[in-house]
Amino acid sequence: MEQRAAKPGGIVAFTSSDQVLEFKQRIEVREARIGVVGMGYVGLPLALLFSEQRFNVTGFDVDSRKVDTLNQGGSYIVRIPGAEIQLARENGFKATTDYGEIAGMDVVIICVPTPLDEYHEPDLSFVSGTVISIAPHLHEGQLIVLESTTYPGTTEEIVVPLLEQGSPRGLRVARDLQSNGFYVAFSPEREDPGNDTVARRDIPKVVGGCGPVALELASAVYSSIFNRTVPVSSPAVAEMTKLLENIYRCVNIALVNELKQLCMRMGIDLFEVIDAAKTKPFGFQAFYPGPGLGGHCIPIDPFYLSWKAKQFDFHTRFIELAGEVNNAMPYFVVENIIEGLSRQHKALCGARVLILGMAYKRDIDDLRESPSLTIIELLQKRGATVAYNDPFFPTVGQGRKYALNMNSTPLEKIPEFDCVVIATDHSQYDYNSIVKRASLVVDTRNATHGIEAPHIVRC
């Protein structure tokens, strides 16, 4: 085995073809240092998985409040108790805003947001900004992995050039055993907030590398914390895999959202239809309608692919139609609120409306792209006085288009409102009690199933 030069933090620069073996050995004996950039809904759980396996883990974030909270053993995500952070701290986990510490990492995993801009086009500023920040601290033999959901080509077309442009001493991506440099891969995150039925380590991890060596190294890293890795031929394949997963859900949700509107006109209970259909043991997967899409993935990812497709003179009509159907659902909810109020000889303008649930889905503290935000803004625009209740959000500042600056209203005040809208079916709610105390209930989630009352509007 050839001599190697020591790097900061005990890191060794690979100079011969046995680099893969040595890297794997460092992973196996838990000597490799792991850096995770972005301590949000994806990065923090990932960092904790590595910490559970006794890796030395450093979390990076530009938000000093998050960093301070983590270093004090606290958590700002409801589904991650402080005890998990404290245990990780005992195992050596720490957080920092200092990107200079990237130089001491063997592996750097990027988990930052990839939102849409005001024109519904990909906003990769978080990715590019992060890559530019870490590039000056790269060293030979280091593995950089992007996990942020994005369009096919991002890793090769944006991440790699920015890393090479900003790297010290002109380092380049090493694509085979004969070249020196750093390694780059893409592995899409598969977080599902609120899902307690599947352990994180049981979710297969798709990995695509810039060359066979990067693929092997990234597979070794993820195999240490996930029970199964799924290697694919390129980062672009891995990037497209993530988009397919979310577009599949987006299209099927759009289908049931459209069928819900048809079934309401036909006097058919779509939820009963779905329950009957899912008894088929093959060829059918149940999806459920709602007030619109939320979260960082399903409302956003289809537009990433639609935008990229235009570069190939291809119009993704099916995908865009699904997006249109889902984006229209908050408007459909508002129309049903108007109809429900009119049955009681009331107008929306001047009505007091209470929204139950701000999170985009049940029992989580995630407000990203929540349809409740759109519903509130639409109601306010039409002259309603709007309040909300959500056990996970004592306050809500920024809405979709402007600052809401609202505080959660106690459920004891339900009788004071002209309409109560069930936008998120949190398990903490007592729906029987809500129906009894409300003068009008608009249920967008089938939360009142089995409760019969003339003042319930299900939509």
Residue 15 has a pLDDT of 41
How many helices (H) and strands (E) in the chain?
15, 15
DSSP 79: T
Structural domain including 440 reads: 272-458
pLDDT digits (tens, 9 = 90+) for 386-437: 999 999 999 999 888 888 999 999 999 999 999 999 999 999 999 999 999 9
Is residue 62 domain-shared with residue 146, that is, in the same domain?
A: yes
Is residue 174 domain-shared with residue 279, that is, in the same domain?
A: no
- Order of strands, edge to edge, in the sheet holding 419-422? 385-389, 352-356, 419-422, 441-443, 456-458
CB 439 within 8 A of CB 455: yes
Nearest to residue 238, comparing CAs of 153, 173, 127? 153
- For tokens 């004891």, the residue is 412
Residue 33 lies in a domain: yes
Tell me what the mean pLDDT of segment 58-78 comes to: 97
Residue 261 lies in a domain: no
Residue 247 lies in a domain: no
Q: How many CB atoms lie within 10 A of CB 299?
A: 22
Residue 40, pLDDT > 80, answer: yes
Tell me what the mean pLDDT of segment 303-314 comes to: 93
Residue 223, pLDDT > 50, answer: yes
The 3-state secondary structure of 368-403, one letter per residue: CCCHHHHHHHHHHHCCCEEEEECCCCCEEEECCCCE
Residue 11 has a pLDDT of 44
Residue 16, pLDDT > 50, answer: no
pLDDT band of 17, cuts 50, 70, 90: low
Is residue 322 domain-shared with residue 187, that is, in the same domain?
A: no
Question: Which of 176, 211, 233 is the last residue in one of the domains?
Answer: 233
Is residue 200 domain-shared with residue 319, that is, in the same domain?
A: no
Report the C-alpha gap between 406 and 340 in whole angstroms.
25
Question: Which of 233, 264, 281 is the last residue in one of the domains?
Answer: 233
Mean pLDDT of the chain, nearest integer: 93
Domain total in the chain: 2
Active-site option among 297, 349, 419, 459: 297
Is residue 167 domain-shared with residue 296, that is, in the same domain?
A: no
CB 372 within 8 A of CB 291: yes
Is residue 229 domain-shared with residue 324, that is, in the same domain?
A: no
Residue 120, pLDDT > 90, answer: no
Residue 330 phi/psi, 5-degree rounding, is -60, -35
Residue 423 has a pLDDT of 98
Tokens of 339: 């109809």
Is residue 350 domain-shared with residue 448, that is, in the same domain?
A: yes
Residue 402 lies in a domain: yes
Residue 241 lies in a domain: no
- For tokens 């998985």, the residue is 49
pLDDT digits (tens, 9 = 90+) for 333-384: 999 999 999 999 999 999 999 999 999 999 999 998 999 999 999 999 999 9
Residue 337 lies in a domain: yes
**Conformational region of residue 114, where left means phi above 0, alpha means psi within -120 to 50, and beta covers everything else:** beta
Provide the whole-model pTM. 0.90
Residue 277 has a pLDDT of 98
The CATH number given to whatever domain includes residue 416 is 3.40.50.720
Report the C-alpha gap between 162 and 145 in whole angstroms.
14
Examine the residue annotation and report whether 297 is marked as an active-site residue of this protein: yes
Instruction: Out of 29-43, 116-130, 267-281, pick the least confident.
Output: 116-130
Instruction: Out of 104-113, 116-125, 154-163, 269-278, pick the least confident.
Output: 116-125
Tell me what the mean pLDDT of segment 307-336 comes to: 95
Tell me what the mean pLDDT of segment 100-128 comes to: 94
Is residue 180 domain-shared with residue 315, that is, in the same domain?
A: no
Is residue 52 domain-shared with residue 193, that is, in the same domain?
A: yes
Between helices 19-28 and 212-223, what is the axis angle to 10°?
Answer: 10
Tell me what the mean pLDDT of segment 175-194 comes to: 89
Is residue 217 domain-shared with residue 319, that is, in the same domain?
A: no
Report the C-alpha gap between 101 and 155 in whole angstroms.
23
Residue 5 has a pLDDT of 40
Residues 6+ apart with CB under 8 A from 353: 337, 379, 384, 385, 386, 387, 417, 418, 419, 420, 421
Residue 251 lies in a domain: no
Residue 240 lies in a domain: no
Residue 388 has a pLDDT of 98
Looking at residue 66, its amino acid is K
Residue 399 has a pLDDT of 86
Question: Which of 207, 233, 259 is the last residue in one of the domains?
Answer: 233
pLDDT band of 2, cuts 50, 70, 90: very low
Give Cα 373 distance to the centre of its chain.
17
Pairing between β-strand 107-110 and β-strand 33-37 as defined by DSSP bridges: parallel
Residues 6+ apart with CB under 8 A from 307: 121, 122, 151
Is residue 283 domain-shared with residue 429, that is, in the same domain?
A: yes
Is residue 178 domain-shared with residue 277, that is, in the same domain?
A: no
pLDDT digits (tens, 9 = 90+) for 244-257: 999 999 999 999 99
